[in-house]
């Protein structure tokens, strides 16, 4: 079946540091890949997505590139802010009724 | 446009009690789903629906029932609550089952079963 692997964290960074959260996946076919973000006390919301190999998704300074050769979709940001503190979920969708497979989520803490 | 709404926000139950978690969306989405979120396990799919009158089981359906009488509403029923059902529950919707579709989540219900 499909699966998504990411570290649980927490990842603690100082403000303005460079962020990388690794995500690798296993899937048949050609899934779409997503990063969702969950701020404290809220539901998940879409951060970015990529729907085919070599696509780059970007939003709010975050980027991730769909790498089919390494089955990866790592999330990066050049300079994090305290307001980026949240839990980040990597996910894939191969379509169909079972919809989306989520990773366990990576908690990011950014300290001033 | 309220998106996906869930009630209640918090709930405490005793073992054996039953309750219904409410979920509604105003985006005319066909696909709706319920997840539970537990530490170290991410989100796990409980039940889903591809349209009014159509529901099916996800990864962890035991102890839960759902129904979908309208496009807008997708309630989750706990038949006889158990401590293992202590979790945060999220309802989500998306336009259809296409792999490019974004899922839209409600704010969640934090349930504690004593």
For residue range A36-66, list pLDDT tens digits in order: 999 998 899 999 999 999 999 999 999 999 9
Residue-wise pLDDT for B72-82, tens only, equals: 999 999 999 99
Q: Which residues of chain B lie closer than 8 angstroms to A73, CB-CB?
A: none
SS (H, E, C) A60-81: CCEEEECECCCCECCEEECCCC
Query: What pLDDT is recorded for position A64?
Result: 98
Q: Which of the four pLDDT bands, split at 50, 70 and 90, describes residue A98? A: low
Q: Which residues is B64 bridged to in the sheet?
A: B78
pLDDT value at residue A97: 66
Q: pLDDT tens digits for A68-96?
A: 999 999 999 999 999 999 999 999 998 77
- Tell me the residues of B at the A interface, defined by beta carbons under 8 Å apart: 4, 31, 33, 40-43, 45, 48, 50, 56, 58, 90, 92, 94, 97-108
Chain A CB contacts of B43 under 8 Å are 44, 89, 102, 105
Rounded CA separation A110/B69 (Å): 44
B94: Cα separation from own chain's centroid: 13
* Average confidence (pLDDT) over B35-55: 92
Q: Which pLDDT does position A107 carry in this prediction? A: 94
Higher pLDDT residue, A100 or A22?
A22
State whether residue A12 is helix, strand or coil.
Answer: strand
pLDDT band at B98 (very low <50, low <70, confident <90, very high): confident
Least confident piece of the model among A6-10, A71-75, B80-84, B109-113: A6-10
Q: How close does chain B come to A68, measured CA to CA in Å?
A: 16
Given a cut of 90, whether residue B68 has pLDDT beyond it is: yes
Chain B: give the shortest CA distance to residue A62, in Å: 17
Output the pLDDT for position B39.
85
Q: Both tokens of residue B17?
A: 């009690």
Q: What is the pLDDT of residue A34?
A: 96
Task: Collect all residues of chain B within an 8 Å Cβ-Cβ radius of residue A45.
Answer: 104-105
pLDDT attached to residue A23: 97
First-to-last alpha carbon distance for chain A, in angstroms, is: 41
pLDDT of residue A41: 87
Find all residues with CB under 8 Å of B48, minimum gap 6, and list them.
A97, A98, A99, B31, B32, B33, B34, B55, B56, B58
Q: Least CB-CB distance to A43: which of B33, B94, B107?
A: B107
Euclidean distance between CA atoms B74 and B109, whole angstroms: 14
CA distance readout (Å), B111 to A100, B10, B73, B87, B102: 23, 6, 20, 6, 26
Q: Between B36 and B97, whose confidence is greater? A: B36
């Amino acid at each position: 079946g499909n699966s998504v692997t990411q570290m649980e964290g927490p990842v603690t960074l100082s403000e303005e540091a460079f962020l990388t959260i690794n995500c690798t996946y296993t899937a048949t076919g050609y899934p779409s890949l997503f990063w969702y973000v969950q701020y404290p006390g809220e539901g998940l919301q879409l951060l970015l997505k990529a729907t085919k190999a070599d696509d780059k998704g970007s939003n709010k300074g975050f980027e991730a590139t769909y790498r089919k050769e390494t089955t990866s979709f790592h999330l990066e940001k050049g300079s994090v802010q305290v307001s980026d503190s949240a839990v980040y979920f990597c996910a894939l969708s191969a379509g169909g009724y079972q919809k989306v497979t989520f990773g366990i989520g990576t908690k990011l803490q950014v300290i001033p | 446009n309220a998106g996906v709404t869930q009630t209640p926000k918090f709930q405490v139950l005793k073992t054996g009690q039953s309750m219904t978690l409410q979920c509604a969306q105003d985006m005319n989405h066909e696909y709706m789903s319920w997840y539970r979120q537990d530490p170290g396990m991410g989100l796990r799919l409980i039940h889903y629906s591809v349209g009014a009158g159509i529901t099916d089981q996800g990864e962890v359906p035991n102890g839960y029932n759902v129904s979908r009488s309208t496009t807008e509403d997708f309630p989750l029923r706990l038949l006889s609550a158990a401590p293992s059902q202590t979790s945060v529950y999220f309802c989500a919707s998306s336009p259809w089952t296409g792999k490019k579709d974004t899922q839209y989540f409600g704010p969640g219900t934090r349930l504690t079963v004593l």
